[in-house]
Amino acid sequence: MPPIRPWERFDNRLLVVMSVFAGLLALIVLWFAFSGPLYQHPDLIKRLPKRPSESIIELEDAQAARLQLALVTEQEFVKEVHTVGGVDYNQNRTVDVFAHYPGRIIESYANIGDRVEREQFLFSMQSPDLLAAENALISAASVSVLQSKNLARARALLKIGGISQMATDQTISDQQTAEGTIETAKNNVLIFGKTNEEIDKIINERHADSTLVMRSPISGTVISRSAAPGIYVQPGAAPAPYTIADTSTMWLVANIVEEQVPMITVGQTVEAQISALPNAIFYGIISVVGASLDPISRRLMARCELEDPTHLLRAGMFAELTIQVGKETKSPAVPETAIYHEGNGVLSVWVTKDKRIFTRRHVTIGGTKDKFVQILSGLSVNEKVVSDGALILARRNR
């Protein structure tokens, strides 16, 4: 056996010393753990698990005096769905005003936001087609006058034997053809929007005016305008020179979440509150329910019409909707201030019998009405709850 070197003997002693030190350190840690506040107060260990749904707190008279109580009453509530939506123009009462014939705009009158009446002037344009139609009218009128004179002359000659009956009949036929031609020419000009008085003026003055006037087909508000002097327009070519919307009714388009879709049907009553008009409430009835959900938002479109005779609504306004989806039912109700929202999303109230001992109770709520909340479970009628001061009890319960 080889001899132990001095430095090897030193390493063994160092290991022994370190082992003893580690053992002492472990004993010190255990002593502090069992002599700390958690060990001295075993009741704290019992509070580590999740609190039960009911917690009881006892207050002194001075503390209880700061609280206000309310009775759980029975009230009628309607099953409702709450969602959001937006105001839009009634597309069924919106008209794009196009030029009937191609031409170049001379003058435009109405601006976006202006109120216009039916047959009110919107814009005028130079129309080559109108000019051709008026020239044809002037020519047909001249021919008609000439044929009328020829017919009168032929009849006079026929009486004295200066012309044959066949020639007279031909003159009559020519005159009737001229009358048909002028009637056709008048109708062609009428299509452009000219009145009978204007047509008579064109014939009498023998002057063709190529100015075509476009008027509003409905009474409403100008919501779009692309018309400007110098622009060449054609029938049906987008964008329309003007778009007029009848704003006496507006659309309200609601976005229904997927879970609420089965409850929404045509004919349900809608109550809408507009963020920009906090003092006004609008009512409508669902007229259209979408056929499919939006693939991105997972929401369904539901639409209703709102009467707006005073024109307060504007397209794009944000609205909060309440849709009645069921009949009225009687349920327990408490003031909104009695509901305490806990951090984990649970709703609770504080119940008392003697205004000294208070019990926290979890509840399930439904709709709201006149600042009262419908209680679906957790409370009974005539129980006393804290209506003001629930936060004080919640802090004491921590």
Question: Could you tell me which of 368, 356, 26, 359 has the C-alpha nearest to residue 348?
Answer: 359
Q: What CATH number has the domain bearing residue 346?
A: 2.40.420.20
Q: What CATH number has the domain bearing residue 203?
A: 1.10.287
The amino acid at residue 363 is V
The length of the chain, given as a count of residues: 398
Which DSSP state fits 65?
T
Structural domain includes residue 299: yes
* Residue bearing the bigger pLDDT, 208 or 243: 243
Structural domain includes residue 347: yes
Beta bridge partners of 273: 281, 320
| Counted domains in the chain | 4
pTM exceeds 0.85: no
Cα gap 5→30, rounded to integer Å: 39
Query: In terms of residue numbers, what domain contains 192?
Result: 128-209
Which DSSP state fits 345?
S
pLDDT score recorded for residue 92:
92
pLDDT score recorded for residue 20:
63
Co-location of 179 and 63 in the same domain: no
CA 331, chain centre distance (Å): 32
Q: Where does the pLDDT of residue 53 fall: very low under 50, low under 70, confident under 90, or very high at 90 and above?
A: low
Question: Could you tell me which of 75, 121, 66 has the C-alpha nearest to residue 376?
Answer: 75
**Burial (CB count <10 Å: 0-12, 13-18, 19+), residue 100:** middle
Mean pLDDT calculated for residue range 311-331? 88
127: pLDDT strictly greater than 80? yes
